[in-house]
Structure 1
Amino acid sequence: MDPATSFLESADFDQLLTLQLGGKAHGLVGSIEVPETSITVEVAPTLATPNAAEIVFSGATTLKRLIESLDAFKHWAAGTGVRFVIVVEPYGANGEGPDEPFGDEIIRAYAKEGIELDIVEAGGDWTGLYVSLLDILPSYIRPDTQWIGFIDDDTFFFSMHSVLRMLHKYDASEAQWVGTHSEYTPWLWGGGINCVGGAGFFLSTP
């Protein structure tokens, strides 16, 4: 059984909906006559937006990249109660042009889409920015926080339901690290296992 088939067969859906797709007959397309078509498929139902307030997502990026990431982030994070704590370089640190957005503008844009965002400015290289999160994040942990997700500014989750289902396999009251090592070969060769990279990883907050 190939991995794709295995994944599909192991997907956990409580129920499936029957959907009929069809199209009317068309005239000639080139030299081919297109007949009326119809197909019936089973699809997963649209699920209600989950409550994921137990998760704080964190990462490091630039102000410009942060606003560009909103279109993707809102597809899986909007209205779920998750919070974002993002470390950025100080405004204009790399000589960006006047079109670089200010932090408060970005916070308002995220809030408009139903995402709570905190921006923290810090100096240093990219590794230093990520490491600085270890000192910054404890002050953002609330009583209902169970997980901190370390992500990149282009991380995309297809379903917050799937993220929660995965995390709930683990006891957040114990120290947990959920994820995998970076797939970046030079890091693996040069320093062994490195847990920053790819889609990210999660730490519990016992």
Structure 2
Amino acid sequence: MKTILVKKRRVLEPEEFLSLLHKTPVISAVKSTEALEQQLETASGIVFILFGDILSIPATVARIKDAGKIAMVHLDLIEGLSAREIAVDFLWENTRADGILSTKANLIKHAKLLGFVTIQRFFVLDSMALLNIEKQFPLDYADAVEILPGVMPKIINKIAHITKKPVIAGGLISDREDIQNALKAGAIAVSSSNLEILRMEN
């Protein structure tokens, strides 16, 4: 197994992260090693890592950081990492990741206390899910929230008004119209794995 030397961490400030979102509002969401190299060639300055395992994640993060981009790890999707605080500690100690995404509030809180930029992810599948999301606000430890699917302008607008956190729309973003609708509805940015969208935006 190849050993990855972890360079000294530079802590990313939330204000810096949000400023970058304003400048390049389309985030690259990477789902495979094959897609990573192609998506690193796009102008997107932020990469959401939606794949990998405990062995590969240090190298994946290192590749993104070496390309001069912000690396955000979706902790829930990394095989071999549990939904416990120790998993956040592992990322902090063994990678140069700038932040994490998770649906789990306890992991978001722990990550924020360590110094990560944090994004709480929500799936809005029905009215009950929306109600449950509203009960969790104000989300003190999240720097931003991501709403999936991201093609629901009315829901994005409602959540943007309820929470004081920046809203990111993700999932099912398929063309420029979807991006424009999400941003007009109040999202600060969108995330997409669609290479064509990433190439024509930002």
Which structure dedicates a bigger proportion of its chain to strand?
Answer: 1
Question: Structure 2-normalised TM-score?
Answer: 0.27
Structure ID, larger Rg = 1
Which structure dedicates a bigger proportion of its chain to helix?
Answer: 2
